[in-house]
């Protein structure tokens, strides 16, 4: 994921120029040629410009890579926004709004809640669909902007969840169980059901401040280790290699959402609550 300086509305021109360099698909002026007449083109760049004028700041952008020539300049992309006035940070965690779109039909407009943790420069994605608004390419710019503010209204609930997880202690056995459940979300099992990394690696904090055993700290450590890579992983032939970072847009969002759902489930088990519906149905 490409990081960029957090640029605000009074720096709109500079910000848009910077985004165009990092993720040119955002600035497509028309959809890809295979879109039908029913496809309503809403340029992501127009939404970004409007949100900058509303006081939002762009913190990160990313676009999906492609080797298909007809898809270059139209692929799925993501823009992360902050707004200090509407979504104040808590400790080192900044709430964010994620805008995902494409101009080749591979994605609808998706507006979802996210978090950014300053300590590890990690972007988190909320896995609960309650915090996501989807807009098909049959609406208008107004519909997308309205969706952004609907998600903004849910941010206090997201931060309440973070506070709740921070107050849930885990035993060593529970932390190991959490790590074991998280590893297959990132690594494939072999024919014998074995995974290439050990839970102890996934639970190893990268900084002193993360040497806590509450659910939030465990979630943060596991998420960072799985996404940033660098773990000693065993290949199917028995050789050791370092795991790579998760850089693809779809893979990043998918893994983040799955980890959020896993953490929700652990919180529910600790509080003797019903499991979240998405996991119960799988």
| 74/87 same-domain check | yes
The secondary structure of residue 119, as a DSSP letter, is T
pLDDT above 90: percentage of residues in the chain: 54
Evaluate whether 52 touches 15 at the Cβ level (below 8 Å): yes
| 29/110 same-domain check | yes
Instruction: Read off the pLDDT of each residue in 254-279 and give the average, rounded to a whole number.
Output: 84
Measured distance CA(149)–CA(122) in Å, rounded: 23
If we measure between CA atoms, which residue out of 278, 249, 258 comes closest to residue 99?
A: 249
| 157/242 same-domain check | no
**Pairing mode of beta strands 109-117, 57-63:** unpaired
Evaluate whether 75 touches 102 at the Cβ level (below 8 Å): yes
| 58/94 same-domain check | yes
What is the per-residue pLDDT for 77? 93
| 14/145 same-domain check | yes
| 75/97 same-domain check | yes
| 133/10 same-domain check | yes
Task: Give the contacts of 165 (CB within 8 A, at least 6 positions apart).
Answer: 214, 215, 216, 219, 263, 267
What is the per-residue pLDDT for 280? 43
Evaluate whether 63 touches 77 at the Cβ level (below 8 Å): yes
pLDDT digits (tens, 9 = 90+) for 195-221: 889 999 999 999 998 999 999 999 999
| 269/133 same-domain check | no
Instruction: Read off the pLDDT of each residue in 178-187 and give the average, rounded to a whole number.
Output: 95
| 122/191 same-domain check | no
Evaluate whether 220 touches 120 at the Cβ level (below 8 Å): yes
Number of structural domains (the chain) is 2
Query: Which of 117, 133, 164 lies at the terminal end of a domain, its last residue?
Result: 164
pLDDT digits (tens, 9 = 90+) for 42-90: 899 999 999 999 999 999 999 988 888 877 878 899 999 999 889 988 8
| 147/194 same-domain check | no
Measured distance CA(186)–CA(184) in Å, rounded: 5
Whole-model pTM: value is: 0.84
Query: Confidence band (pLDDT; 50, 70, 90) for 273?
Result: low
Query: Which residue range is the domain that position 99 belongs to?
Result: 2-164
What is the per-residue pLDDT for 179? 97
Instruction: Read off the pLDDT of each residue in 170-189 and give the average, rounded to a whole number.
Output: 94
| 152/187 same-domain check | no
| 139/197 same-domain check | no
Measured distance CA(98)–CA(148) in Å, rounded: 9
Evaluate whether 261 touches 247 at the Cβ level (below 8 Å): no
What is the per-residue pLDDT for 41? 87
Query: Which of 133, 164, 195 lies at the terminal end of a domain, its last residue?
Result: 164
Structure tokens at 217: 């700290």
Measured distance CA(123)–CA(19) in Å, rounded: 18
Query: Which of 164, 198, 218 lies at the terminal end of a domain, its last residue?
Result: 164
């Amino acid at each position: 994921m490409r990081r960029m300086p957090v640029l605000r509305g009074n720096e709109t021109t500079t910000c848009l120029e910077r985004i165009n360099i990092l993720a040119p698909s955002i600035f497509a002026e028309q959809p890809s040629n295979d879109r039908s007449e029913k496809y309503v083109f809403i340029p992501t760049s127009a939404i970004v410009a409007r949100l900058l004028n509303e006081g939002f700041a762009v913190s990160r952008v990313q676009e999906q890579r492609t080797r298909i020539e007809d898809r270059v300049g139209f692929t799925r992309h993501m823009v992360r926004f902050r707004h200090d006035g509407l979504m104040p940070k808590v400790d080192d965690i900044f709430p964010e709004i994620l805008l995902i779109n494409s101009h080749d039909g591979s994605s609808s407009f998706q507006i979802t809640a996210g978090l950014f943790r300053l300590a590890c420069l990690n972007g988190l994605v909320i896995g609960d669909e309650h915090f996501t608004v989807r807009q098909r390419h049959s609406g208008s710019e107004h519909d997308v902007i309205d969706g952004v503010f609907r998600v903004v209204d849910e941010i206090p609930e997201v931060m309440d969840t973070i506070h709740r997880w921070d107050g849930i202690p885990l035993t060593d056995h529970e932390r190991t169980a959490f790590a074991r459940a998280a590893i297959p979300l990132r690594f494939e099992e072999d024919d014998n059901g074995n995974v290439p990394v050990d839970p102890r690696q996934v639970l190893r904090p990268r900084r002193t401040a993360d040497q806590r055993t509450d659910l939030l700290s465990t979630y943060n450590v596991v998420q960072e280790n799985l996404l940033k890579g660098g773990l000693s992983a065993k290949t199917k032939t028995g050789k050791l290699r370092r795991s790579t970072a998760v850089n693809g847009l779809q893979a990043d969002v998918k893994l983040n959402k799955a980890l959020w759902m896993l953490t929700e489930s652990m919180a529910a088990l600790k509080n003797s609550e019903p499991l979240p519906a998405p996991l119960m149905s799988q």
